[in-house]
């Protein structure tokens, strides 16, 4: 029996649809026709004259509707006249996420890029979607060590509990110290090509499961989905692995503070004051604000040991990122003008939306505390106290390094909260990996 094939033809805005096929409902101004020939389905889509992100979403809505009626085992994408390579690439990647046996016809120059990006997205999504009893801090450390083992240009260091205590990373120990299955680890991998420049540092939050700790998460706080709380580590590793394998010229440093945030008699207590690696005393106001704690120690230790030229932090840091910006957006905090320009251009090409926010004094000061130096629940005064959670949390990180810092809060974009992220089923989406690979590796 032959497999079912979807032929997806993409047409530029304003194009005339093929004569064959019947018009089907699509979200305006998208237009589409559908035709059947045995086990083959032909779907022609005229893209809306909108942003790349909107083109992705609108096209995916049509494809989902068709595949619900006629599931496809293979997809062949045909990019028509007027469809540029960036459009063809990103819309084909969406289909490959949903149906691995997807190819792009007539653009052989894009095949290697498609394969590389798809493989990187696969690594990222696989880590995030894996059961948290398997994707532990030990598994994260082992995977990074295995990657570095066969390469002369990568060196990997893993700090276990005794070393973390000796080096003063007590915030990381406070968060994960009660876990036996996913204990605290700090994983550092350095890619050292011949380029003498200081490295770009990629720091990823690796909370392998977030129960909320003693301030346990209620059901409404997505506790059943908290396997995704290590998505920052997954994103950072996927970028690092892909750029190293591509032979990037620039040096890179990967930093993954990782553990579980457990409940137990040895779990950190609300109200405790813990001295950080940098010497700042931090009051644990809420045990479910743990991500910024592990990032703080990781940032402080790694930037002091291996001074970078710039640092990027990736973290599912706050539900505020979802509440404030919706299910697809990634807020980007503190980017320099040069970094913002590069990421904006890459975002426009890949269709992964970013929003940019500068540093502000009042968000930094919202983290101050009357008992300790700072607390892990930054709040603005009075009626605004519940606002700007992503902004306040990002500013917390700035206390722990003097290096140029760009922070991406990926809580919303990395997970398919609404169920209709382009190409993605339940679980991880793969965002915003494409944008970062485009900006830094030209993919």
What's the confidence (pLDDT) of residue 2? 61
Cβ 351 vs Cβ 423: under 8 Å: no
Provide mean pLDDT across the span 92-99: 96
Average pLDDT score, the chain: 95
Query: Is the pLDDT reported for residue 225 higher than 80?
Result: no
Helix (H) or strand (E) holding 163: helix 161-167
| Gap between the Cα atoms of 147 and 273, Å rounded | 37
What's the confidence (pLDDT) of residue 39? 81
Same domain, 50 and 137: no
Same domain, 87 and 195: no
Is there a domain that residue 111 lies in?
Answer: no
Same domain, 94 and 127: no
186 Rama sector, left if φ>0, alpha if ψ -120 to 50, beta otherwise: beta
Is there a domain that residue 407 lies in?
Answer: yes
* Cis amide prior to 392 (ω within 30 degrees): no
- What tens digit of pLDDT does each residue of 18-48 get? 888 999 999 999 999 999 988 889 999 999 9
- What tens digit of pLDDT does each residue of 100-123 get? 999 999 999 999 999 999 999 999
| Gap between the Cα atoms of 140 and 322, Å rounded | 26
Same domain, 85 and 164: no
Residue 30, domain extent: 5-106
Report the DSSP beta bridge partners of residue 35.
Answer: 42
C-alpha radius of gyration, the chain, whole number: 23
Is there a domain that residue 116 lies in?
Answer: no
| Banded pLDDT at 1 (limits 50, 70, 90) | very low
Same domain, 73 and 150: no
User: Among the listed ranges 12-26, 218-232, 255-269, 310-324, which one has the minimum average pLDDT value?
Assistant: 218-232
Same domain, 25 and 165: no
What's the confidence (pLDDT) of residue 227? 84
| Gap between the Cα atoms of 130 and 140, Å rounded | 11
| Planar angle of CA 223, 410, 180, nearest 5 degrees | 45
Query: Is the pLDDT reported for residue 386 higher than 70?
Result: no
Is there a domain that residue 114 lies in?
Answer: no
| Banded pLDDT at 224 (limits 50, 70, 90) | low
Q: Which of 74, 106, 138 is the last residue of a domain?
A: 106
Is there a domain that residue 115 lies in?
Answer: no
| Banded pLDDT at 382 (limits 50, 70, 90) | low
How many Cα neighbours within 13 Å face the side chain of 38? Answer: 5
CATH of the domain at 433: 3.40.630.10
Is there a domain that residue 112 lies in?
Answer: no
Same domain, 205 and 230: yes
Same domain, 228 and 93: no
Q: Which of 75, 106, 137 is the last residue of a domain?
A: 106
Same domain, 125 and 80: no
Provide mean pLDDT across the span 250-265: 97
Is there a domain that residue 308 lies in?
Answer: yes
What's the confidence (pLDDT) of residue 195? 87
Same domain, 134 and 236: yes
Provide mean pLDDT across the span 417-436: 94
Provide mean pLDDT across the span 158-176: 99
Active-site residue list: 217, 292
Report the DSSP beta bridge partners of residue 78.
Answer: 9, 105
- What tens digit of pLDDT does each residue of 357-368 get? 999 999 999 999
Is there a domain that residue 194 lies in?
Answer: yes
Same domain, 360 and 232: yes
Helix (H) or strand (E) holding 204: strand 200-204
Q: How many structural domains compose the chain?
A: 2
User: Among the listed ranges 249-263, 296-310, 370-384, which one has the minimum average pLDDT value?
Assistant: 370-384
Cβ 372 vs Cβ 282: under 8 Å: yes
Same domain, 277 and 154: yes
| Among candidate residues 25, 26, 23, the one with its CA nearest the CA of residue 34 | 23
Query: Is the pLDDT reported for residue 222 higher than 70?
Result: no
Q: What percent of the chain has pLDDT over 70?
A: 97
């Amino acid at each position: 029996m032959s497999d079912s094939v979807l032929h997806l033809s993409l047409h530029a805005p304003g194009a005339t649809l093929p004569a064959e096929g019947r018009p089907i409902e699509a979200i305006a101004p998208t237009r589409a026709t559908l035709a059947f020939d045995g086990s083959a389905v032909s779907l022609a889509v005229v893209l809306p004259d909108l942003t790349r992100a909107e083109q992705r979403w609108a096209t995916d809505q049509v494809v989902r509707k068709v595949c619900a009626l006629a599931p496809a085992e293979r997809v062949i994408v045909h990019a028509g006249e007027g469809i540029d390579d960036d459009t063809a690439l990103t819309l084909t990647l969406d289909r490959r996420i949903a149906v691995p046996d997807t190819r792009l016809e007539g653009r052989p120059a894009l095949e290697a890029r498609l394969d590389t990006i798809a493989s990187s997205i696969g690594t990222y999504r696989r880590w995030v979607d894996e059961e948290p009893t398997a994707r532990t801090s030990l598994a994260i450390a082992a995977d990074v060590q295995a990657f570095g083992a066969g390469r002369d240009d990568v060196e990997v260091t893993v700090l276990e509990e005794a070393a973390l205590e000796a080096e003063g990373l007590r915030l990381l120990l406070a968060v994960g110290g009660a876990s036996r299955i996913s204990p605290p680890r700090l994983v550092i991998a350095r890619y050292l090509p011949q380029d003498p420049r200081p490295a770009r540092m990629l720091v990823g939050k690796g909370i392998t499961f977030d129960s909320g700790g003693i301030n346990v998460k209620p059901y409404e706080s997505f506790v059943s989905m908290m396997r995704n709380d290590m998505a920052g580590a997954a994103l950072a590793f996927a970028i690092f692995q892909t750029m190293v394998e591509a032979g990037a010229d620039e040096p890179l440093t990967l930093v993954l503070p990782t553990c579980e945030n457990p409940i137990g008699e040895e779990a950190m207590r609300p109200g405790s004051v813990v001295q950080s690696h940098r010497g700042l005393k931090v009051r644990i106001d809420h045990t479910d604000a743990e991500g910024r704690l592990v990032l703080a120690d990781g940032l402080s230790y790694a930037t002091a040991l291996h001074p970078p030229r710039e640092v990027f932090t990736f973290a599912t840091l706050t539900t505020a990122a979802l509440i404030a910006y919706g299910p697809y957006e990634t807020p980007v905090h503190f980017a320099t003008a040069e970094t913002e320009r590069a990421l904006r251009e890459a975002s426009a090409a890949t269709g992964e939306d970013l929003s940019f926010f500068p540093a502000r004094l009042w968000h930094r000061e919202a983290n101050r505390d009357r008992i300790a130096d700072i607390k892990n629940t930054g709040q603005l005064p009075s009626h605004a106290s519940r606002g700007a959670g992503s902004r306040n949390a990002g500013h917390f990180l700035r206390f722990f390094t003097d290096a140029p810092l760009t922070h991406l809060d990926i809580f919303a974009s990395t997970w398919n909260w609404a169920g209709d992220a382009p190409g993605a089923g339940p679980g991880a989406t793969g965002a915003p990996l494409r944008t970062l690979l485009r900006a830094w590796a030209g993919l």
